[in-house]
Copies of this chain bind each other. A is one copy, B any other.
Amino acid sequence: MREFILRALKGKTTPDFSLDDLPNAGRMDLVCRCVSNALWISNDLRRDTIIHVAMDGPSLPPKIVSFNGLDLKGVRFDERDIAKHIQEALKRGKPLEINEEADVSPGIKVAKKSFEALVKEKSKTSQLFYLHKKGGDIREAELKGDVTFVFGDYIGMPKNTESLLDRLGAKKLTLGPVMLFASHCIIVAHNELDRKIV
Decide: A37 and B78 in contact? CB cutoff 8 A.
Answer: no
Which residues from chain B contact A190 at a C-beta distance below 8 Å? Answer: 178
Contacting B at CB under 8 A, from A4-26, are: 20, 22-23
- A194: Cβ under 8 A from any B Cβ: yes
Nearest B residue to A40 via CB reads B181
Known: A78-B29, A187-B188. A178 touches B22 (CB 8 A): no
Which of A41, A78, A195 lies at the interface centre, i.e. has the most chain B CB atoms within 10 A of its CB? A78
A171 and B180 CA atoms in complex are apart in Å by 27
- A163: Cβ under 8 A from any B Cβ: no
Contact of A78 among B23, B187, B195 (CB under 8 A): B23
A190 and B36 CA atoms in complex are apart in Å by 19
